[in-house]
Amino acid sequence: MTASGLREFLADPAGDGRPADPALAKLIEAISDSCRTISYLVSRGALADVLGAAGTGNIQGEEQKKLDVLANEEMVAMARASGVVAAAASEEEEHAVLLSPAAPYLLLFDPLDGSSNVDVNVSIGTIFSVLPSPGEVPPGNIDAVFLQPGRRQIAAGYALYGPQSLLVLSLGSGVVTFTLDPPTGQWVRTAGPARVPEATREFAINMSNMRHWDKPVQDYVAECLAGTGGARGKDFNMRWIASMVADVHRILCRGGVFLYPWDRREPGKPGKLRLMYEGNPMSFLIEQAGGRAFDGCGDILEAVPTGLHQRTSVMLGAKEEVDRLEVLHRSQAAPRT
Ligand code: P6P
């Protein structure tokens, strides 16, 4: 039996005999080609002198790694060459880039999330989100057309550069996984549709920030740590890879809940992670797999963006856990201080 690949998936993504929109299929294949290229660059590491700092900073005020710059250049060039992307927005670019103004799609991406991990050989990834373009994009204010709620995403996914390179994506009919076969360069379908179990015994959060969290999150984690003798009546395990793509992938594979909530270190920011190209695409995938994604006020996918690089609190994964977090947040009387 020939390996089933991306093209076969795009020929019938929902299993109803209908092919994906041809322009969307072209974009997804182009993204997969770029992720193959980035996977190769990442795997070469020190051998290709792509590790370490680039000596530049990005709009986030963060030091850019060489691979951040290379991955970003690859993704922007791909979007431009595809001819189906009206404009592209990147974590590494202050403003969106106008490409093919009359094209049907907007592409957003974090070209290399968790890149600080690459120097220590920990899994990292590329995250992407596809929104509909409203039609002719006004050259004067390109960013504005991107400010759509995550619920409007047409597709989203990530590439995970780890022991294997994986491409995990959804076009709105479930989450499927492809594994890169290095000898052939093919993305072979190896899993899916993914399901996030409603219950779990595993949570992911950076515990060093405990004293900075809002009370609902402190109470939630305390319940998890209390184990069988506490309110939850069961013991929990904890994982924290500090690479969102890897942590979310674990949840799509074996369940769990991931939290990067608001904390008092930067009280003016809702959280560390970015809404448009981290929170929204990951929330889309998690919901497609039967999980939930909450920002402390409501579903992340309902948030109405006001800025391309705005941040969000992220609590996503097992429905039971996110439901519990929502109850704790709604019962909180005092506003954040
Ligand atoms: P911390 C990586 O830098 C990232 O943006 C996410 O991929 C990851 O979940 C988070 O930051 C890790 O943050 O504060 O634990 O280093």
184 lines ligand 1 (CB under 6 A): no
CA of 282 to the centre of ligand 1 (A): 14
* pLDDT tens series, the chain, 337 aa: 456 899 999 999 999 999 999 999 999 999 999 999 999 999 998 777 777 777 777 777 777 778 999 999 999 999 999 999 999 999 999 999 999 999 999 999 999 998 788 889 999 999 999 999 998 777 788 999 999 999 999 999 999 999 999 999 999 999 999 999 999 999 999 998 999 999 999 999 999 999 999 999 999 999 999 999 999 999 999 999 999 999 999 999 999 999 999 999 999 999 999 999 999 999 999 999 999 999 999 999 999 999 999 999 999 999 999 999 999 999 985 555 5
For residue range 25-58, list pLDDT tens digits in order: 999 999 999 999 999 999 998 777 777 777 777 7
Q: Which of 58, 64, 113, 263 to mutate to test the pocket of ligand 1 (most atoms within 8 A of CB)?
A: 113
Instruction: Print burial letters for 210-234: b (CB count within 10 Å at least 16), e (below 16).
Output: eeebbebbebbbebbeeeeeeebee
User: If you measure from the C-alpha of residue 113 to the centroid of ligand 1, how many angstroms do you get, rounded to a whole number?
Assistant: 8
The structural domains of the chain, with segments of one domain joined by +, span 6-191, 202-331
Say which CATH superfamily domain 6-191 falls into: Fructose-1,6-Bisphosphatase, subunit A, domain 1 (3.30.540.10)
Supply the residue whose CA is at minimum distance from atom 1 of ligand 1.
Answer: 242
CA distance 25 to 304: 27
> How far does residue 161's CA lie from ligand 1's centre (Å)?
16
DSSP string, 126-141: EEEEEEE--SSPPTT-
Cβ of 242 less than 6 Å from ligand 1: yes
261 lines ligand 1 (CB under 6 A): no
Closest CA to 98 of 133, 71, 130: 133
Distance from the CA of 299 to the center of ligand 1, in angstroms?
21
Copy the structure tokens of residue 141: 């204010």
Burial degree of 71 (CB within 10 A; 0-12, 13-18, 19+): buried
What's the pLDDT score for residue 1? 44
- State in words which class domain 202-331 has: alpha beta
Tally of CB atoms within 10 A around 104: 17
Q: Is 192 helix (H, G, I), strand (E, B) or coil?
A: coil
**Token code pair at residue 153:** 């995403």
